[in-house]
Amino acid sequence: MLRALYVDLDGTLLGPGASLLTGADGSFSLDGVRALQACARAGVEVVIYSGRRQSSVAEDARLMGQRSYIFELGAGLVLDGELEWLTGGCVPSVELGTIHQQIGASGAPQRLLEAFPGRLEYHVPWSGGREVSHLFRGQVASDAAAAVLADGFDWLRLVDNGVMAAHGGGAGFVDYGLSDDVERVHGYHLVPAAASKSRAVARHMQNRGYRREECIACGDSREDMDAAEVVGAFWMMCNGLTGDPTLSAEVTRAGARVTSEPFGAGVYEAVVTTLAEG
């Protein structure tokens, strides 16, 4: 029995332009809606797990009629209206402010920007209004970023949340202040080390009493794929591999399944295939 679908938004359930009703070719598509409908008919709970800020994810969950969601890369879980922070000892306080403010006051964001000039910058305007993560764009090696944070900031980690859609002219980088040698622009979240999508998914499953084999997850990024550790099957959207071919080896190691269709059509494929196999 399939009881829960954990699904990413951008690059997964949502098509180009972050639209639920747009297919890979830019035309009108109901595939994402059909995926949600299939879940509703089968009694499967849909839980968004996204890097977006809480206000954005909450609105999307409301539009989809869902009672629970995971925001800012697993930093927070809202279960039937109740918020739980999954950020270890770093929580909002009157004295220290939001978690986002505490990370900023630590100096870690500035240290990263100085360490990777031309290869990392704030992802404006989407970096504003956040409660937890500092959101960047660029292209940096994960081990190099970890080495920077190891010097006094080991309570934080920089998470690669996947390749971002291009903005601007032919090369896609004219709106960015990044170096010309940046091949693919990724989105990065600086979050407390305790926060992760997989941990938030596991916490939701624990609260609901779901077993691993009763749950699947769909996503398009390396961070999404970490959920493979806690769910019965993880489905990688084929457009995720197109955007970042380096994920192929990790998909194999994680035992993830790859959809034949991109975006919402891929989520629909994952849901109906799982239901049929069940």
Of 149, 172, 192, the domain-final residue: 192
Mean pLDDT score across all residues of the chain: 94
User: pLDDT at position 164, please?
Assistant: 85
User: pLDDT at position 224, please?
Assistant: 95
Burial of 156 (0-12, 13-18, 19+ CB in 10 A): buried
Backbone angles phi, psi at 275, to 5 degrees: -65, -40
Buried/exposed 79-90: b ≥16 CB within 10 Å, e otherwise: beeeeebbbeeb
- For 43-64, what is each residue's pLDDT tens digit? 999 999 999 999 999 999 999 9
- For 119-176, what is each residue's pLDDT tens digit? 999 999 999 999 999 999 999 999 999 999 999 999 999 999 988 875 443 344 445 7
Residues 99, 199, 47, 216, Cα dihedral to 10°: 160
Residue 91 resides in a domain? no
Residues 273 and 135 in one domain: no
What percent of the chain is modeled with pLDDT above 90?
90
Of 136, 160, 192, the domain-final residue: 192
Residue 238 resides in a domain? yes
**CA-CA distances (angstroms) from residue 123 to 118, 181, 206, 256, 275?**
13, 18, 34, 29, 38
Helix (H, G, I), strand (E, B) or coil at 194: coil
Helix (H, G, I), strand (E, B) or coil at 19: strand
User: pLDDT at position 166, please?
Assistant: 58
pLDDT band, very low/low/confident/very high, at 183 (cuts 50, 70, 90): confident
pTM of the complete model: 0.93
Residues 133 and 169 in one domain: yes
The mean pLDDT value for 21-27 works out to 96
Strand runs labelled E in 72-181: 76-79, 82-85, 120-122, 134-138, 156-163
- Bridge partners of 4, per DSSP, are 45, 215
Residues 151, 157, 163, 168, Cα dihedral to 10°: -70
pLDDT band, very low/low/confident/very high, at 13 (cuts 50, 70, 90): very high
**Rounded-to-integer distance, Cα 166 and Cα 272, Å:** 31
**Rounded-to-integer distance, Cα 265 and Cα 121, Å:** 32
User: pLDDT at position 209, please?
Assistant: 98
Residue 149 resides in a domain? yes
pLDDT band, very low/low/confident/very high, at 278 (cuts 50, 70, 90): confident
Q: How far is CA 123 from the centre of its chain?
A: 15
Domain span including residue 161: 99-192
Residue 69 resides in a domain? yes
Residues 178 and 239 in one domain: no
The mean pLDDT value for 86-114 works out to 97
